[in-house]
Amino acid sequence: MKILQRERLICPPKYQQALVEKFGLNRFDEPNFRIAWGDTETTIVAGLSGYEERLLSSGACWKILRWNPPECYGSPESWYLENYDYDTGLCLLGPYPEKGRYEVAIPLMRQEVVNGKLEVEAMPLNYAIIDLVIPLLVKSQELSYWERKVAEEEEVRLENTRLCSEIADRMSSDLPAFYGPVSYAGQITRTALIDRKMAAIEENYRRFPHIFKNPVRGLRQIN
């Protein structure tokens, strides 16, 4: 699929409505998941003469966007402190996302090396994406929450132990080598699981292109 110039496409309402029905709205009454075209969705960042719109993520394909709450980006104070540009007086990543922001979760594209060349093809929208892939992202998000909670509790426990120690330097030397959040190795497994599911969908797309180009609501696993 070759696109020689930037296209601005809007997700068909039926797909976005299906996302809302299945995954709901956030606390600001906006979708938890959205589908956007890579050369259409924009975000606000600092430019040479003020804040300006830039593409959220380039690439001529549909992309699943996941909403992240504002607390994922720290406090407004830390946001501006870490991203402040002294030359322009602006925040490099744009104003603090008070209502959260959308980030790309998965690009819907098929990549294949043919005769030593990488071929990239945008996958058409289909309910299989909603039914099979996004639930894995939701599960991943839930697990990440509990991982963060365990990490915070572990940090509190270690800090209390340090404060109760009579010999601070001795206690410091006895601390575990990894002092801080727990390991996120499980996230690799989840990422691999999502990758395998996407690979299966791509394989089915190659085998049954007529099904993907004529989507049926509620499509499940293709054997």
Q: Are residues 108 and 153 in the same domain?
A: no
Band of residue 175 on the pLDDT scale cut at 50, 70, 90: very low
Top pLDDT among 176 and 129 is at 129
Top pLDDT among 155 and 177 is at 155
| Average pLDDT, integer, range 44-49 | 89
Asked if residue 37 has pLDDT above 70, the reply is yes
- In the 3-class helix/strand/coil scheme, how is 167-181 assigned residue by residue? CHHHHHHHCCCCCCC
Asked if residue 144 has pLDDT above 50, the reply is yes
Give phi and psi for 82, each to the nearest 5.
-75, -25
Q: Are residues 116 and 9 in the same domain?
A: yes
| Domain end point (choices 57, 89, 123) | 123
Asked if residue 131 has pLDDT above 80, the reply is yes
Rounded (10°) angle between helices 185-207 and 134-164? 170
pLDDT of residue 219: 42
DSSP-assigned letter for residue 88: T
Whole domain around residue 26: which residue ranges? 1-123
Percent of the chain with pLDDT over 90: 33
Q: Are residues 33 and 139 in the same domain?
A: no
Tens digit of each residue's pLDDT (9 = 90 or more) over 96-120: 999 999 999 888 888 778 888 878 7
pLDDT of residue 28: 96
Q: How many domains does the chain have?
A: 2
